[in-house]
Amino acid sequence: MIVRMKEILLFTSAHTVDATIQKLGELGVVDIKEVNPPQGDTIERCLQDIDNTNQALSILEQHELSDKISKDTVDTNGKDPKRIIGRLLKSKTVEKNIHNTIEDINSQLKFYDTWGKQFLKKDLDFLWQKDIFIRLYYIGKSQAKTLPEDKTIVTFPEKEGKVPVALFSQNVKDRLDFKEVTIPKLSYPALLDVKQRKERQLDQLKIFLNEQKAYEAILNDYSQFLEDRLNSETALESMGDIEGKVKFLRGYLPKDAVDRFTSIAKKEDWGYSISEPTNVDEVPVYIKNPKWISIINPMMKFIDIVPGYKEIDVSIYFLIAFALFFAMLVGDAGYGLIFLVLAIIFRKKMAPQLRTLIFVLSGSTIIWGVLSGTYFGAEQIAQLPFLKDMVIPNISSFGVDNINFMMHLSFLIGAIHLTVAHGIRVFQFINSIKALSEVGWIALVWGLFFITEQLVLGNPAPSWYNWLFIVGATLVVLFSKESNSFLKSMGASIANLPLSLISGFSDIVSYVRLFAVGMATAAVAASFNNMALPDGIAGMGVLDFVMAAIALLLGHTLNIALALMAVMVHGIRLNMLEFAGHLGVQFSGEAYKPFKLMVNNEK
């Protein structure tokens, strides 16, 4: 549910403003809104320090600690984080320069692979001093056929599709119309010596990073300190000022946190004013739900949507519908089992909410897969005695012509989903005549459902379905808008009704994607099975079995990826557009972000 918020104005003296900000950070309930745009050199320096710290931490995270070095052997007491960060950033530059040098040396060593490791540039320079000019080229085979015959040219055996060519001349201006090979200044042994020296430097750099790995915790603490400092400075700079004597800020806090705030405010001698929000569009949205509903939060954060302050919290509706849509779109018990096993294996690396959400989605997919007889797209598995008894023929993926029923089921789910949306709005407007218009829309949704069934599937509509349109349209036209001018509001409703009906019909038809995508997932899985194992595993050799296993692994991995993409596109879309559209939720809100100083709170 969306927690009701209160707007506050807080006043404090200029000489105690730092302590006020500190106390607010410890309290951690006020979402501060700027009075003045925060700016200043201190903020810029904080941002730069945070960026440097994050880069340093990234270097340590990417570096794998050697087994030969233990972090416990390094003394971390009294270490300056800035010095550690500076050395780590410098090490990254040094490492990049070393790799560039080695890459350049490797390209020069290729010269000697072509022209011989005994080649010496000084010998070539000696010949040049004697007016014998040698130029080297590396050209394609077709270009070698076009070499001029009036020049002294020596060609060498082809190497990697190219032909080495040497031009001999006593005229320094003589050249071929090709790019001349750059001759290394250092000899082959000298280049090897430089490369080995650079590789030793890389080894020393790895030892250095092994030692710096022990300072990761120090840098994490320092990063949090910088974040707190930035938040404090931003809060200070965004405060209003009255003649340099009084500072004030404005913000919002949850209604249930008012008592905590007022007790601190009285203790700290703050001046404050608490009132109902004046600008609803600016009020941050604080969603607080029971744990079992909150498991949908990772998905809501992923798609980055927040309902408006005066809108409906859709968390529970999204959770129930998304679990069903996920199950139908993936539709394979084998895939669901893979998701479940992976979630169990990596459970310690996942946030609790995400872990539980994956358990729910995996479970729903397994249940749907069992009921539809879908196990990695293999019909043979579904025919096993125990599993066969659990298959519901009407939703089975194999062996039954149930396309019409599955389309009917998809339309039915759509009609129910949209009915829930309008039903919620009935209770939302229960004290308004608009509740009657939502009742009308429920009637229209079911009228559109029967029309869809008739047009798409050829199912006859009940004789009384016309009354759904008559009653529904009447309620929508009469009670959709509250206005002083009844005729004006009715005219507007009549004008909007045709397009709304077309949109509603389209929304119900849109739910057929649940069946279509789910069927496609099963069909693609079965196709991969038939390609990899056209005659089963009987009589297969070891090599054939291994190749078939690899093909199945790659094929099903691709199919799982496509199914998850379908969930992201279609499963979220049905909630975000069709359902939310009928519910009137525009997701125009901004998430509640209370001002907190984490380091101090941890203490």
pLDDT digits (tens, 9 = 90+) for 499-523: 889 989 999 999 999 999 999 999 9
Q: Is the whole-model pTM more than 0.85?
A: no
Q: Where are the alpha helices (DSSP H) in 16-79?
A: 17-27, 41-62
Q: Which residues contact 397 (CB under 8 A, 6 or more apart)?
A: 331, 372, 373, 374, 379, 382, 519, 522
**Whether the predicted pLDDT of 483 surpasses 70:** no
Of the residues 165, 186, 207, which one is the last residue of a structural domain? 186
Q: Do 321 and 178 lie in a common domain? A: no
| pLDDT over threshold 80, residue 234 | yes
Average per-residue pLDDT for the chain: 89
Position 504 in a domain? yes
CA distance 66 to 53: 23
pLDDT tens for each residue of 118-173: 888 888 889 999 899 999 998 888 888 888 888 888 888 888 888 899 999 998 88
- Flag whether pLDDT at 411 surpasses 50: yes
The two counts, helices (H) then strands (E), for the chain are 24, 8
Mean pLDDT over residues 525-551, rounded? 83
| Phi, psi of 135, deg, nearest 5 | -125, 140
pLDDT at 567: 93
Q: Within a domain: residue 512?
A: yes
| pLDDT value at 53 more than 60 | yes
Give the Cα separation of 504 and 448 in Å (integer): 7
The more confidently predicted of residues 371 and 400 is 371
For the chain, the domain total comes to: 2
Using alpha carbons, select from 562, 573, 460 the residue that is nearest to residue 513.
573
Q: How confident is the model at residue 542 (pLDDT cuts 50, 70, 90)?
A: confident
Amino acid 90: pLDDT: 94
One domain for residues 178 and 323: no
DSSP 513-552: HHHHHHHHHHHHHHHHHHHH-TT-STT--HHHHHHHHHHH
Tell me if 278 is assigned to some domain.
no
* pLDDT recorded at residue 426: 94
The residue out of 141, 161, 186 marking a domain boundary is: 186
Residue 456 lies in a domain: yes
**Contact predicate 167/197, CB 8 Å:** no
394/537 same-domain check: yes
Instruction: Tell me what the mean pLDDT of segment 461-476 comes to.
Output: 92
Average pLDDT, integer, range 545-572: 92
- CA-wise closest residue to 517 among 430, 375, 602, 406: 406
* Residue among 601, 598, 594 at smallest CA distance from 254: 594
Within-domain flag for 198? no
Query: Do residues 554 and 546 touch, judged by C-beta distance below 8 A?
Result: no
**Count of other CB atoms within 10 angstroms of residue 202:** 14
Mean of pLDDT values over 170-177: 89
* DSSP code at position 183: P
Mean pLDDT of 477-496: 71
Residue 603 has pLDDT above 50, yes or no: no
In a domain, 224, yes or no: no
Number of other residues whose CB lies within 10 A of the CB of residue 313: 18
**355 in any annotated domain:** yes
Q: Report yes or no on 404 lying in a domain.
A: yes
Last residue of a domain, one of 186, 211, 243: 186
- Domain holding 153, by residue range, is 120-186
| pLDDT value at 214 more than 90 | no
